[in-house]
Structures are given as C-alpha cells and as structure tokens.
Copies of this chain bind each other. A is one copy, B any other.
Amino acid sequence: MATLIHEEDLDAIALGGAFLGTGGGGDPYIGKLMAREAIRRHGPVTLLGADEVADEALCISVFMMGAPTVMVEKLPSGAEILKALAELEQFLGRKADALICVEAGGLNSTIPFMVAASTGLPLIDGDGMGRAFPELQMVSFTLHGLAATPMVLADDKGNSALFSAISNLWTEKMARSVTIEMGGAALVAAYPMPGAEMKTALLHGTMTQIRKIGETIQEARNSARHAGSALRDTLGGTHLFTGRVIDVERKTIGGFARGKLTLRGVERFAGQQFIVHFQNEFLLAEDETGKTVWATPDLICALDADLGLPVTTEQMRYGLMVEFTGLAADPQWRTPEGLALAGPGYFGYGGPSQERIPV
C-alpha cells in the first residue's frame, strides 16, 4: 500500500537505517538533512509496495559509494546523485518510473528519499541487502542474475563514469577504483531493472522495517526504556555483548574504512573481551579466544549503551560503551550463493557464519 513519507517521518527512518546499517553506509543524519530539505521544497515522498509497481516500470537504485569516514567529511550537495540518475536515464533513453534503495542502512537508506522528493518519483518499499554491505555486488539483485550496469558514477566536481561490465564484481572493481580517484566517495545510479524483475529480486518491506526500528528506538528513549531490549523484543535479535571500547584500529584502505574494535565486557559480560572487525560495516564479532560470536551475512548492530542510539563505525572511539545486537540476515544470504557473495570467507575471515556461538 502506498504511504506518504513526510518530513517528520525522517527521524525514525534515519535512526532505523543507522541501526540496520550495522555501523556502515555512513551516518544517515547527512542523508536525512538532504531528504528533509527536498521534502520541504517538493512535498512528501510516495513509498510504494513493490507489488504496486507495474511490471514494465523502469526501477533504478540510487546510492553513495565510498568509505563512510570520507563521506562524513565530503558532504554531497545532492546535485551529483541527480546528475548520475539523469545520465543513466539519458543512456537508457528512458526516464525512471521508481527508485530503489540498494541497502536498508546508513546514508543509503535516507539519500533515496531526497532523490525521490526532488524528482517526484516513488520510492519502493524494499532494498537489495536488508542491511548494509560494503560492496556494490552484495545485493539480492546479484543473486537473481541482475546486472548493476549500465551504471553511472558521479563526483562533486563534475566528473562521471558510465560502466558496462561482465559481472557485478567487475562493476564494483572499476567503480571502486574511480571512487578512490574521485576522493573516496561518489554518487551512483545503477541496477536499472523492470518492475517484474524487481518484485522477484527485492527484499520486500525493508523501508517500513527501518522506520519501525527507528520508532522503537524513539519510544524507548521517550519512555526511558532500554532501547536494545525493546529492539530485541520487536526484532527477535540476540544480545551479543555490551562493552567499553578500549581500542580502535582504523585505516582507509582500498577505498574502505577497515579496522577493528576491542571492547572490554561490562555487566554480565564483565571479565570478557571482544573484537569487532569492520569494513565499512561490522562484519565479524569474536570473543577473546578468537571464537566467532556473530558474523556476516548476519547483522551486528551497535547502540551507544548510554544514549540508546545507533553508533556507526566512524563514530567509534575510546571509552564509548556499546551494546551489540545480532540479527539473522534475510534467508537469501544464508544460501551457498549468498554466503559466497557476502559471507565471512569473502572478507577473509576464517570461520563460516554457521559456526557462530550464540552468547
């Protein structure tokens, strides 16, 4: 059912996107400001259920690519992503009929609302990840054989590149290298697909889900309830651990923010130590013996334990008290194809996701 998204809905969407973004995809706050401005100027965004989209409709994903550490310093103006979309439409010789979020997390779950408001296009309620992942081929669209290309990448200076590739991994490689040249962040229009294919490949309803997550966080804060518990009650997640950050290693390598956090457990986790590895997103949580606590493709979501608000990887700092919640990924990610695309092995982590030890 079509829903209108107004300015006042954006806070919840940004909060939910930050939580489901598993630390990556950039701070949705930036995208929220951009979306708010666009909605004020152009009116509310229509959020369409996937089934309301015509089979022959042209659906296009719009997103930002790059290291979140760069994104927070190099703010997009909004013009770049509209330019990327316009160039892709020009190449296809056809206007888009609807927009898709490539990921239900981080900046990329709010920026599409800006594009939708600015262009008047509806946004589809769903995404390609059900979370955030660091690389552009890590979407359900890839699992359904849909191409990221033709794809346009645009920067803030006026440069752009249109890719055509033999696989989505090749698109990622080419686009990542150009993104690095562009300064570490770029805006993208990609994955053009007809409505019929979108309906099969999309993870449905995730925009509604992040909004609900955001509302749960807001309600918990308003009622002085514990946000982590409230979310786990709603989503059925696992409390992985709560700890204080005692070390952060972070480097921007190969266009990604890579690193690891070391946390000293508190409360019922006192006396334990945990390591959380990230590449833009939190991808692997281990205990002090090196045993996997939770791993990609399943979600490792972080809340500031004092404020009850989501924390992104670039916000992690010494002394912060963080509560980690593990969520199960969409079942598509637990198939052999899904694990090959975004499982721990792809990222060079040892144990398969299945061997995780529930805490």
Copy tally for this chain in the complex stands at 2
User: What B residues does A159 contact at CB under 8 A?
Assistant: 163-166, 170, 174
The segment from A115-123, A176-184, A209-217, A222-230 found at the interface with B is A176-184
Instruction: Say yes or no: A178 contacts B174, CB within 8 Å.
Output: yes
A161 to B158, CA, bound (A): 16
Residue on B with the closest CB to A83? Answer: B164
Instruction: Say yes or no: B164 contacts A160, CB within 8 Å.
Output: yes
User: What B residues does A166 contact at CB under 8 A?
Assistant: 157-159
User: What B residues does A182 contact at CB under 8 A?
Assistant: 174
Instruction: Say yes or no: A174 contacts B158, CB within 8 Å.
Output: no
Q: Taking each of A157, A158, A161, A165, which has the highest tally of chain B beta carbons within 10 Å of its own beta carbon?
A: A161
Docked complex: A114-170 residues within 8 A CB-CB of B:
157-166, 170
A157 to B164, CA, bound (A): 11
* Contact (A180, B181) CB under 8 Å given A161-B161, A161-B162: no
Determine how close the nearest CB of chain B comes to the CB of A166; give it in whole angstroms: 4
A182 to B171, CA, bound (A): 11
A118 to B126, CA, bound (A): 48
A163 to B161, CA, bound (A): 4
Tally of A interface residues using CB under 8 Å: 21
A158 to B192, CA, bound (A): 19
A164 to B166, CA, bound (A): 21
Determine how close the nearest CB of chain B comes to the CB of A149; give it in whole angstroms: 9
Docked complex: A80-114 residues within 8 A CB-CB of B:
87, 91
Determine whether A173 belongs to the interface, using a CB cutoff of 8 Å to chain B. Answer: yes
User: What B residues does A91 contact at CB under 8 A?
Assistant: 91
Instruction: Say yes or no: B160 contacts A163, CB within 8 Å.
Output: yes
Determine how close the nearest CB of chain B comes to the CB of A319; give it in whole angstroms: 38
Determine how close the nearest CB of chain B comes to the CB of A345; give it in whole angstroms: 22
A91 to B91, CA, bound (A): 8
Instruction: Say yes or no: A177 contacts B181, CB within 8 Å.
Output: yes
User: What B residues does A164 contact at CB under 8 A?
Assistant: 87, 159-162
Docked complex: A12-29 residues within 8 A CB-CB of B:
none
Docked complex: A176-201 residues within 8 A CB-CB of B:
176-178, 180-182
Which one of B87, B162, B163, B181 lies within 8 Å of A173 (CB-CB)? B181
A214 to B26, CA, bound (A): 58
Residue on B with the closest CB to A165? Answer: B159
A177 to B158, CA, bound (A): 18
Query: Besides the contacts A158-B165, A161-B163, A173-B181, what 13 more A-B pairs have beta carbons closer than 8 Å?
Result: A157-B166, A157-B170, A158-B166, A159-B166, A159-B174, A161-B161, A161-B164, A161-B174, A162-B162, A162-B163, A176-B181, A177-B181, A178-B178
Q: Please list the 6 inter-chain residue pairs (A to B) with the smallest Cβ-Cβ separation, ordered nearest first.
A: A177-B177, A162-B162, A158-B166, A159-B165, A173-B181, A160-B164
Q: Residues of A with Cβ closer than 8 Å to B?
A: 87, 91, 157-166, 170, 173-174, 176-178, 180-182
11 A-B pairs with CB atoms under 8 Å apart are: A87-B164, A91-B91, A157-B170, A158-B165, A159-B163, A159-B174, A160-B165, A161-B164, A161-B174, A162-B163, A174-B182
